[in-house]
């Protein structure tokens, strides 16, 4: 077994690998970019090596620097995690060329499955069912559009390299095919360095079910049952579970047999996942699933498999990479209960899941869930920053229980008790999804979230009670660690009655005015607004409403939703809001494409430019009719709030 390994990754997966390595007595080396100098995985590892600037292309994708770090520290093997270099066969060959072990499959296996079109041709030869589509080399618009017409709309354009929903477009109308193809190719080029795509028939009622497979260097291959990953937004998974709801024994046998057959066809060694698209229009059936792709690495959602099987997949990876046979045969692998995982992201679900940034001034997870097992895989800790350079995942919450109903309720309960302040997160959305009638009943398909997006992302308005608690919490002399106790700060003698303290908070663009007085019993009496006759709201020191104070803000938690208000500095006048008719960047990013010019007349909803952030493209459209006065230039790197477009005055 290895004595020391280097982890060529960051965040949650780096932390995950470090934990298992530590249990096995293996020393770990972390690598980090400028943006991750103080990151949790750096703090946890036995050693850490700086590998470059914040941009992934200059750090976590710099294979030569990572290999050099392994050699400098005496590491014997490199664990790639997922993403970055995990499915790069050239990197594997470089690792092995200098005498190091790669904790993953061979470069030949990665190449065989790394390009979706070639993989599907290989699977057809191996007898694995494949989705109807075009997987050839021709990439000309006319040829691909012709193939799409032959297949029949709707079709799915997919990047032949990579995954995670990047470089993917659903096209229902032939007229939209050219623009969708161009966008998919641009996104694929940016994310994977390969703009080539394939075109497939889009399954109308699709479910995404995948099988965890494992092989060793002795010719053995097994499956560890299936996972359902149908709950997706923008083709990216948000909730995964094992086993798949509604899975019968015959369909499971057919699907897992096909997965093992696929792994054996390429002499696969290590952890891998065979992903299937399933036609769920008539329930799960043995003849209604097709191979989509193979991920030749550990999956983000691997914890649900670990929870139902009791197997540490990272430990298996390390043992197999060191040359050991698989620790168990197929007959020795069993599944128990049900596990569900939710991905906690820094993103704004109310703004079509735009990635968010910020410092995690307050981060708290529940310690347990009644009647179930709770696991939290987090790559960050309180005080860490979510930057625009990498995937905005904060943590994964996984719950295992005897039944699916108990697991769903346990996870929803855990999410409701999770507290995050300092960045917008998707906790409320996840909880509403778990309690959605169709999801709870197992009526899953990949379009469920898009179909119900408005209901799933609508946040209940802040109630007066919560506003009053926020006012009370910020009535001391400061916020953050130096905050004074508001129940002691609001005091003093008034000759004609209790002293009235005026407070102002800001909810979005609205000012919340309040008058606060101390009662004789130590509670605070709070009147919102200027109505003298308004009934006061009494807030006591033991009020159960959960709040977090952080510099310049207060966050009130209501279930899984977090509502944040700004606390103006009482010693400074509020800045006047910036005037002008303009569009600002919703997040830091790169201006990828500009589709308008100065003096152009544009219509409401017309695309003006494409902003690339966190490897995804976001189209910025005109909010109204107007004439462009200024517009950002292609290739410009912009910060959150930077002006992208300014319109001429109406007159």
The 3-class SS string of 516-537 reads EEECCCCCEEEEECCCCCCCCE
Q: Are strands 77-79 and 4-7 parallel, antiparallel or unpaired?
A: parallel
Query: Using an 8 Å Cβ cutoff, are 360 and 323 in contact?
Result: no
Question: CA-CA-CA-CA torsion for 353, 359, 361, 366, nearest 10 degrees?
Answer: 50
The CB density around residue 548, as the number of other CB atoms within 10 Å, is 22
Q: Is 297 a catalytic residue?
A: yes
- List of residues 6+ apart from 496 with CB closer than 8 A: none
d(CA 435, CA 427) in angstroms, rounded, equals 13
Contact assessment for residue 327 and residue 316, using Cβ atoms and an 8 Å cutoff: yes
CB 99 within 8 A of CB 78: no
Beta-carbon contacts of 457 under 8 Å, excluding residues fewer than 6 positions away, are: 349, 350, 428, 429, 432
User: DSSP H helical segments within 165-311, as ranges?
Assistant: 177-192, 249-265, 302-309
Question: 615: which residues sit within 8 A by CB, 6+ positions away?
Answer: 166, 187, 190, 191
Q: 297, 432, 549, 646: which is the annotated catalytic residue?
A: 297
Distances (CA, A) of 626 to 7, 79, 228, 631: 52, 53, 46, 13
From start to end of 296-445, where are the E strands? 338-345, 347-348, 354-355, 358-359, 362-364, 373-378, 385-386, 393-401, 419-421
Question: Rounded to 5 degrees, what are φ and ψ at 8?
Answer: -90, 55
Q: Which residues are catalytic?
A: 297
């Amino acid at each position: 077994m290895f004595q020391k390994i280097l982890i060529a990754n960051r965040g949650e997966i780096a932390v995950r690998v470090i934990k298992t390595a530590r249990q096995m007595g293996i020393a770990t080396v972390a690598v980090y970019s400028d943006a991750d100098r103080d990151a949790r995985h750096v703090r946890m590892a036995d050693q850490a090596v700086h590998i470059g600037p914040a941009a992934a292309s200059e750090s976590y994708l710099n294979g030569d620097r990572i290999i050099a770090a392994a050699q400098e520290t005496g590491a014997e093997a490199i664990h790639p995690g997922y993403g970055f270099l995990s499915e790069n066969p050239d990197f594997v060959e470089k690792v092995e060329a200098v005498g190091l072990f790669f904790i993953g499959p061979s470069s030949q296996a990665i190449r065989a499955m790394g390009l979706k079109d070639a993989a599907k041709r290989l699977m057809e030869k191996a007898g694995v069912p494949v989705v109807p589509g075009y997987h050839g080399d021709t990439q000309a618009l006319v040829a691909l559009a012709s193939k799409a017409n032959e297949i029949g709309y709707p079709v799915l354009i997919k990047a032949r390299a990579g995954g995670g929903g990047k470089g993917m477009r659903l096209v229902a109308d032939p007229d939209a095919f050219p623009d969708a193809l161009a966008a998919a190719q641009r996104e694929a080029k940016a994310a994977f360095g390969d703009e080539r795509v394939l075109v497939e028939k889009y399954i109308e009622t699709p479910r995404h079910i995948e099988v965890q497979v494992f092989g060793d260097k002795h010719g053995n291959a097994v499956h560890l049952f299936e996972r359902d990953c149908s709950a997706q937004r923008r083709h990216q998974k948000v909730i995964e579970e094992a086993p798949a709801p509604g899975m019968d024994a015959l369909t499971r046998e057919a699907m897992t047999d096909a997965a093992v057959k696929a792994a054996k066809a390429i002499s696969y060694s290590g952890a891998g996942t065979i992903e299937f698209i399933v036609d769920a229009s008539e329930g799960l059936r043995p003849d209604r699933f097709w191979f989509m792709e193979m991920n030749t690495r550990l999956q983000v959602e691997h914890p649900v498999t670990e929870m139902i099987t009791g197997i540490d997949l990272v430990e298996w990876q390390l043992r197999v990479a060191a040359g050991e046979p698989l620790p168990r045969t197929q007959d020795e692998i069993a599944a128990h209960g049900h596990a569900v995982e939710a991905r906690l992201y820094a993103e704004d679900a109310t703004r079509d899941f735009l990635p968010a940034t910020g410092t995690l001034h307050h981060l708290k997870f529940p310690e347990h869930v009644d009647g179930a097992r709770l696991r939290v895989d987090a790559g960050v800790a309180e005080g860490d920053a979510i930057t625009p350079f990498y995937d905005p995942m904060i943590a994964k919450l996984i719950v295992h229980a005897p039944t699916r109903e108990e697991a769903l309720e346990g996870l929803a309960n855990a999410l409701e008790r999770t507290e995050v302040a300092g960045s917008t997160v998707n906790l409320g959305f996840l909880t509403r999804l778990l309690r959605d009638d169709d999801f709870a009943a197992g009526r899953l398909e990949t379009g469920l979230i898009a179909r119900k997006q408005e209901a799933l992302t609508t946040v209940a308005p802040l109630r007066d009670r919560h506003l009053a608690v926020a006012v009370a919490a910020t009535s001391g002399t400061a916020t953050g660690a130096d905050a004074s106790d508001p129940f002691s700060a609001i005091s003093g003698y008034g000759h004609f009655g209790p002293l009235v303290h005026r407070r102002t908070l800001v909810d979005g663009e609205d000012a919340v005015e309040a008058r606060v007085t101390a009662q004789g019993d130590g509670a605070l009496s709070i009147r919102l607004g200027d109505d003298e006759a308004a009934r006061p709201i009494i807030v006591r020191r033991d009020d159960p409403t959960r709040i977090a104070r952080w510099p310049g803000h207060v966050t009130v938690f209501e279930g899984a939703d977090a509502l944040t208000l700004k606390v103006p500095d009482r010693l400074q006048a509020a800045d006047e809001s910036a005037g002008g008719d303009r569009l600002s960047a919703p997040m830091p990013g790169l201006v990828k494409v500009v589709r308008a010019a100065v003096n152009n007349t544009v219509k409401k909803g017309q695309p003006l430019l494409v902003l690339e952030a966190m490897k995804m493209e976001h189209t910025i459209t005109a909010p109204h009719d107007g004439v462009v006065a200024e517009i950002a230039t292609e290739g410009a790197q912009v910060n959150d709030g930077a002006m992208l477009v300014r319109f001429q005055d109406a007159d």
